[in-house]
Structure 1
Amino acid sequence: MHLIDIGANLTHDSFDHDRDAVLARARENGVVQMVITGASREHSPLALKLARQHPGELFATAGVHPHHATEYTSECDAEMRQLHAHSEVVAVGECGLDYFRDFSPRPAQRRAFELQLQIAVDTGKPLFLHQRDAHADFMAMMTNFDGRLRGPAVVHCFTGTREEMFDYLDRDWYIGITGWLCDERRGQHLRELVRHIPANRLLIETDAPYLLPRTIKPAPSHRRNEPMFLAHIVEELARDRQEDVAETARTTTQNARTFFRLPTPR
């Protein structure tokens, strides 16, 4: 299988001591390309730096997660725009709204999201989106940009309801599935929902180091997720969609190349 992890937080400090080994294990398990998530003013430049160290294999997003929305100043906006001048940065985000924890005030979240949507308008790049417990405001803000966004959008790490999923699909957005699918406590509803995602709108990701699939046995003692486990997620996803694993892998890989405009590896 050739797999593409569309969302891995490889700039996280838990990878500082063995990042090269993590990449090697990913390759051994079929992950041929990865998109490194830039989710803050600090980590977006690091994602670009990592992508530039591995041309053709690693790519980056640049954005500010709603948890960090208070850092989205005019200077931060200028920094994000500078990052998006680089071809290795293939999507705007991670950006969106998160009312689950409200780590940043909601007005600050909405302002940061709007400014990043404008970057997507100006660059024509795809959107790497986050939404949790903020669906109505999220949809309203996206609707305000109807007709202006030129690139596709993916709702990354989808964990929501049937109604939310079909709202996204009705807009022709992509759905990113993670190891949340493998969590019998919180993700059981996804087992049924993933059957209804059209094949050409399905993407896969680990969101490493978060969301280690709970169906991996034995679980690693450190409990850290990493891209090598994308193969496990694909197997679980294929079973739930009643597809051959090779078909799910092939489809999601092609979708990722189309969405992010990635080259085919040598």
Structure 2
Amino acid sequence: MPVRITSDDWTSERVKAFWDHCYRQNNRALTFSERVGRGVARYLRVNGLLQGEVLDYGCGPGALAAQLIRAGCQCWGCDWSEASVEAANRLLSGRRGWHGASLAGDSRSAYFNRKFDLVTCLETVEHIPEHEEEDFFANLRDAVKVGGSIFLTTPNEEDLTLDHKNVYCPFCDSVYHQRQHVRSFDKNTLATTIERHGFVVRWVTALDFNSYQVPAWPGIGDVNLRYLARVAARMPFSPITAVHRRSRGKLPHLCAVATRVPAL
């Protein structure tokens, strides 16, 4: 039987090598923020979070940051992969509101020691082994102002054992998650994890960010029953919301909003 790679096997050097390789592929798969970054930005705006100075922690190639500066935010980025930092800076160089991407933890970077109104962290916490959890949330806590917010997303109750989610390497006879996920969360475990580290959770919810990709004011030719149903499903108290969710089954994404509290 092949060896299943565990979170302890993913050292920082291996993680960096994995993502540098991914981001340097010309035909790579789209990242989460490239697929639904516009929807994430709309969700942030609808909930009154899209304002002030923002750090995209784990910015990847800059797709979410592009949406944030388009919405008028002042935005910084950081990531663990040199290739992704380079890609983000290529994409956004010279754009108003963009202050550059840097390697995470680099004390020489523009974001380091700065306090932000909002720190976004998309599809990252599922990559963090339990033994690195404290450092990960300490970095988020150090980056956000007291009273400021963090915004995290992660897959909703992902089954990490499914064969189609894993890759077999015949050279080392091992199996690992195709996107290097090492943890899975539901609403409760995500909330309790965040609250262990100096934050008050405002809400954790399951949703599909694809529904927020729908423009609020489409062209007249784009209005149809499917469009109207998707817009109605975004409204928290709409009766269509429950019907839409039942028809879709388990919603694919979890998102959490939490506020930093003063240290005791």
Q: TM-score range by the shorter chain?
A: 0.3 to 0.5
Q: Given the two structures, how large is their TM-score scaled by the length of structure 1?
A: 0.36
More helix by share: 1
Q: Given the two structures, how large is their TM-score scaled by the length of structure 2?
A: 0.36
Q: Rg larger in 1 or in 2?
A: 2
